[in-house]
Every structure is written in structure tokens, then in C-alpha cells.
Chains A and B, each alone.
Chain A
Amino acid sequence: MTASVKSSLASPPPRIIARLDIKAPNLVKGIHLEGLRVIGRPGDFAKRYFEAGADELFYQDIVASLYQRSSIVDLVKQTAEMIFVPLTVGGGIRSIQDIQTMLRAGADKVCVNTAATTRPEFISEAAAIFGRQCIVVAIEVLKQTSGKYLVFTNNGRQSTGLEAREWACRAVDCGAGEIVITSVDREGTRRGLDLGLIEEIVGAVGVPVIAHGGVGHAGHVLEAVRLGASGVAVAKALHSDALSIAEIKNHLVAAGVEVRR
């Protein structure tokens, strides 16, 4: 299938995903995945976004991969008690046991990054057990001065030498059911998503692609949706009240895009 055909593949109405970066027990936010600031209690924010109509919540444990630990299981449990929309959990997912633990705690999907780039077979093993719809692969990208999109891990610190498009295709071949693509350059800046990157990945794979990194206003979300993103993850703009889920959905509806109400 050619790239242009894949770009035109239909998705369900775009998901507006509230992304919460977590350094247990706190919700934090930085810029370019660095310089973290404590914002509040994740549960409070999760509940608020659920009530406001978020289509999905995304918890990213941002220290897990660095310190070889995962501490948000309890938080996932508490969240699943009060949030009745899907919850994706990422950060420090390295084994089948880690996935099992998160799913049993109430996560619907798990998001893998470092473990997948180090050993792509991990994606296949996980997909064979839990189904590919359950396995999301996160791709953190830094745009190089050459214009190339290169894949990084550990919050944008560790280069893998892989190109984003090539890695996205490989991950999907291995069994990834969804790709979350983060532009580290744009992350936390509210300057807008990297549309070139989104276009490239949406055209390369046949699974849903979630765009993340840089949303500042509702128009940014619409741009990504028009390019074929199946969802857009928003963090800082929501946490700081610069933007609401209702504003995003109203803007999409006004532009003729169907959303869940």
C-alpha cells in the first residue's frame, strides 16, 4: 500500500487525549521532557478531564525508565475506580509481567518505548499474549538540522540512531496496535505540533497514530486531525487551563469534524 493510500485510511472520530506526565505521586510538566515542575495530584486532574469529556487518559511515568522502577500501579488502580474512559499507561514497561500488572490494575493499553527499541521482539511477544490493540509504541522524536526525524529514548536523552518512519513501520510489523508520536522539540512549548512528522508517520502505517507535543490551541489539534491523526494528546495546555476539552471539540465540530459528545 502506498503512503498516500494509508494517509486516507479512516479512523473513528478523533480522540482528545489528556496526557498526564507522572513522577509519583505527582503530576508534573516540563519542557522538551525536561525541567519538571510539580502541578498537582494526578487523580484530581484525571477526574476533571473525565468529567470534561476527555476521550482517553494517558499516564506516562516519566522516571520509570531512568531509575528502573515503576511506581504508578496504585495510582492506576485509584484512577480506574473513578474514571470510566480508557486509560493508557506508559513508562518503565519492560516485561510481560509489567503489562499484566498494569492491565490488572485497570489500564486498557500499555505504552512501550525503551524496551521496544532495545528489543523489538518484545512487541511481538506482548501482542501475541494481550492482542495488538493493547500494545502502544511511543516514539520520541528530535528533528535534526538535516531535517531527519530521529528516534530517542529516556525522555529525549538517548539516541537510537533509528529514523522515525522506519521505526514506526518496524514496530507495527512487530505487532504494535497504535503509535504515539512525540515531538520532543515541540513538547511543552505550545507552539503547535510538528505537522511534517505527523504526516510522515500517518502515511507510513495502517494503525492509529496519536500526535503529541506542542498543542497550544484548538487549531493545532484540527491541523493534526486533518492530516489523519487518530487522536491528539494534550498536556500542558490543559493543565494550565490555557485550553479546555470543550474548546477543542467545539472547534473540531465547527470545522465539520465529528467528535464524541
Chain B
Amino acid sequence: MTKRVTIVDYGLGNLHSVIKSVQHFGAEVEVADTAERVSQAERLILPGVGAFGDGIGHLRNRGQDRAILDYAAKERPLLGICLGAQLLLDESEEFGRHHGLGLIPGKVTEIPREHVRVPHAGWGKLVGGPVGGNDPLLREIPEDSWMYFVHSFQLQPAAPSSILRICQYGPHPIPAVVKRGLVYGCQFHPEKSGKTGLILLRNFLDL
């Protein structure tokens, strides 16, 4: 059966790569630039490159923020990528304080600049978070799998149990995969993380 996936288009970011990577598995892709299309989705990806304030502002201007909340209330799978993952949390301190979607309790904070270069840009290994485990999103993605990160701010979920995987960056454990119910966030870019990243997207299509 052909899987259908809807990708939220809010005017920012590299939609093309996300679209192509899910089409890789034969999924039927719909790009949703309106609130209606978002709320009607069967499976939703919230991509994103950019600053938090701009991102949430664009979602609000199009009414897509409420549509995403409506969608998530139906307990359907949602995957936020990079900025898209950060937008799932309550708030961010990037260029001032901004409220997020609040689907995963917690906030987005700056990566401490001690001992490391920021932005965190490059490949990092996924290792077990406090929970680790056998989440279906991480099927066939073993410990120490490499993923591509490029970010200056990090996910800080309130509940440690929300963190499925981290990436150790110098002394800083960076939350890499977070989850609450069927709402997932990846700090890295699975669509840019070679074959391993594609496996994660395939797993998402199978949820």
C-alpha cells in the first residue's frame, strides 16, 4: 500500500531534500502550505532550517500552528526535523524568547560554547539516551549510527524519558531523538544522513 506523507511548507527550509528522501521509499508526498492540508494529513513531517522566531511566526501567520495541534490530537505520527523538532517544544531562547507548539514539554536552549565550536555542524553518533530502547522509529539503527547535525540550539525536554538518543559533543550530551506519544523530533537531518538517515525515514513511514 502506498504510504501518504504530508510535509508542512511554511516558507522556510530545504523542502526538496525531505520530499526526495521520502519519495525514495515510494511514498506519496503532499506539500501542505495551508492549515487545512495540515490537519487532513495521515502522516506529517515538520521540516525546517532557520531561526525559531521566524519559523513559529510563519506557522502562525498561516494558521498552521493550530492545524498541527489538531493533527497531533488525533494521535497520528508527526516527525519534526531540526528546527521542526525544536518548534515542537514549549519555548526557545533564540533571538529573544518565543513560544513553540508545546507538543513536547521542554525548551530550546543555546548549546554552551565552552569547549566546543558552535554551531554544532557535522556528523555525530547516536547513543542511548536515558531511555534508549527499541522504539519503532529506531528499528535497524544501531548504537553509534552516524547522523548529520547542523544547529546552534538544542532540544531540552523536561522529562528525561522523552530523550531516546543523544549525541555526545565534547562535554555536552545533545538530545538527538525526542518523543512524546507519536510526536517525534530529530535534531539531526535524516534526509541528509546517508543511508542510515533514510532508514529512519522509512521507519517513520511504517509507523
**Interface residues, chain A, CB within 8 Å of chain B?**
9-15, 50, 55, 77, 80-81, 84-87, 103-109, 127-134, 177-178, 206-208, 230-231, 260-261
Contact = CB atoms under 8 A, between A and B. Distances in A.
Interface string B111-152: 001011111111110000000000000000000001011111
Given A11-B117, A133-B152, A207-B117, 5 more contacts: A103-B14, A105-B16, A106-B16, A133-B151, A230-B117
17 contacts: A9-B117, A10-B169, A11-B117, A13-B123, A80-B20, A85-B194, A103-B14, A104-B14, A105-B16, A106-B16, A108-B49, A108-B150, A108-B192, A129-B12, A131-B152, A133-B119, A206-B118
A85 B148 contact: yes
Contacts of A129: 12, 50-51, 54
B54 A260 contact: no
B17 interface: yes
A177 B198 contact: no
Interface string B44-64: 000001110010000000000
A113 B139 CA distance: 42
A208 B117 contact: yes
Q: In the complex, which of the residues A12, A80, A104, A127 has the most CB atoms of chain B within 10 Å of its own CB atom?
A: A12
A105 B50 CA distance: 15
Given A85-B148, A131-B49, A207 B193 contact: no
Interface in B148-177: 148-152, 169-170
Nearest to A231: B122
A57 B84 CA distance: 23
B106 interface: no
A206 B169 contact: no
Contacts of B121: 12, 133, 177-178, 208, 230
A108 B13 CA distance: 8
B115 to A, nearest CB: 6
A255 to B, nearest CB: 18
A138 B98 CA distance: 31
